[in-house]
Amino acid sequence: MSANENEVPPVINPQVEAPASKAFDKSIEGLGGWLTLVMLGIILGLLRSLSDLKYFAHIFIPNVWRSLITTNQILIVIEILFCLISIFLIIILGHKFFSKNKTFPKWFIGFQLFSFGFFAIYTVVLHFAYPDLTRNQPDSFCSAFFTFCIWVPYMLKSKRVKATFVNRNPTSNLFYLIIMPSVIFLSIGIIFCFSRISMHQSGCVTEHTSIESSDLLSSVIMPPGWKWLEEEKSADDAILIGNEFSGEFLRVITDSKNQMPIEFNTIEKYVEFVKSNLVSDFSDSTLSDAKKTSLNGMNAFRIECTGNLGGLKLFYLVICVESEEYFHQIHAWAPLENQSGNILEQVINTFEER
């Protein structure tokens, strides 16, 4: 037997030779430190997203959605979807955060990417669709950008994050199935409640309501969502009503024939007088010829106008009505892009002399 054969092979001590397992300092483990700010961000983000739903309450007010142009409808739908998705994701983030789920950092980074990407694209879209409305939009974009720049590197580099979010308990699919419809129904309920509160506080009617003029000589029927505008009413206005959310308004002015100057004592001369006032009030206006018509058995003339009034582009409709003792001017208008002709016509057709 050779000398080499008698040698005892060296014993490898596993505690010395084996690579040390990765361990974290217990003092940096847990939902403390900078993660406290992350926790506050999740809670406040959920509350803010829920409160943002109040800004969509006006679309539940009658006749408002119909009056919006297609571009506005699309933008509102996009904003509501973003709000609903944000609420859904924040609830999931909160669940993963407080359960110290290992996938929390990835979900958090994904949510920041989603928010930053949305505001970046939405700001560009708004800039081209409505340049005047983008003055405040950079605030949301900058907020999302700085949040992304600060918290994403923190999630990737922080030792506390790596030491805290270690649990592998998977989120049940049942959790997602319960949360998503709950978020949708809760959000719709909040929007609907805000719309009811808004209508109540603003004095809007919730059903078709007959209202009488202040001089007790005429009446019209207000549709849901409209209200009597007492504070804005001038001394000449017998009726002033409207929907402030959709920008639709109607005014009635009544003149006694006996008190009119002799040069305006016929309906034709009265119409010319009204038409001349429209020309002076509007800029860049297009005025139609006065067309003879009738309104609830009374002689009438119809004038349509489009133009700028006080910086607004309006569709303006005037019906001059002659009764036995009075001349009535019915003025109805709305933003040009709202295409509100039908609802204005409906209210005008309810006009009656008492």
Q: For 206-243, how does the pLDDT look when each residue is reduced to its tens digit (9 = 90+)?
A: 788 999 999 999 999 998 888 899 888 888 899 999 98
Same domain, 255 and 280: yes
Count of residues making up the chain:
354
Same domain, 118 and 224: no
Q: Whole-angstrom Cα distance, residue 159 to residue 165?
A: 10
For 279, the domain range is: 209-353
Same domain, 197 and 241: no
Same domain, 40 and 60: yes
pTM: 0.58
Write down which residue in 164, 186, 202 finishes a domain. 202
112 compared with 173, residue with greater pLDDT: 112
Work out the average pLDDT over 53-82: 73
CATH number, residue 339: 3.40.1000.10
Same domain, 164 and 233: no
The structure tokens listed for 109 are 């980074």
Question: Is 63 part of a structural domain of the chain?
Answer: yes
Question: Is 16 part of a structural domain of the chain?
Answer: no
Q: Whole-angstrom Cα distance, residue 298 to residue 353?
A: 10
User: Which pLDDT belongs to residue 181?
Assistant: 78
Q: For 92-151, how does the pLDDT look when each residue is reduced to its tens digit (9 = 90+)?
A: 899 889 889 899 999 999 999 998 888 888 888 877 776 655 455 556 777 788 888 888
Same domain, 177 and 215: no
- Classified as helix, coil or strand, 275 is helix
Same domain, 306 and 227: yes
Same domain, 45 and 128: yes
Question: Is 288 part of a structural domain of the chain?
Answer: yes
Same domain, 214 and 107: no
Write down which residue in 185, 202, 219 finishes a domain. 202
Q: For 325-337, how does the pLDDT look when each residue is reduced to its tens digit (9 = 90+)?
A: 999 999 999 888 7
198 compared with 90, residue with greater pLDDT: 90
Q: For 279-314, how does the pLDDT look when each residue is reduced to its tens digit (9 = 90+)?
A: 788 887 788 899 999 999 999 999 998 888 877 888
Same domain, 274 and 303: yes
Q: For 239-256, how does the pLDDT look when each residue is reduced to its tens digit (9 = 90+)?
A: 999 987 778 899 999 999
Same domain, 63 and 148: yes
**Per-residue pLDDT for 6 more than 70?**
no
Give the helix/strand (H/E) hosting 195: helix 173-202
Write down which residue in 202, 234, 269 finishes a domain. 202
Same domain, 195 and 294: no
Question: Is 1 part of a structural domain of the chain?
Answer: no
Contact 164, 31 (CB under 8 A): yes
Q: For 258-287, how does the pLDDT look when each residue is reduced to its tens digit (9 = 90+)?
A: 888 887 888 999 999 898 888 788 887 788
Q: Where is average pLDDT lowest: 48-62, 237-251, 339-353?
A: 48-62
DSSP annotation of 257 reads G
DSSP annotation of 2 reads -
User: Which pLDDT belongs to residue 173?
Assistant: 67
Q: Whole-angstrom Cα distance, residue 45 to residue 50?
A: 9
The number of domains in the chain is 2
User: Which pLDDT belongs to residue 19?
Assistant: 46
Question: Is 173 part of a structural domain of the chain?
Answer: yes
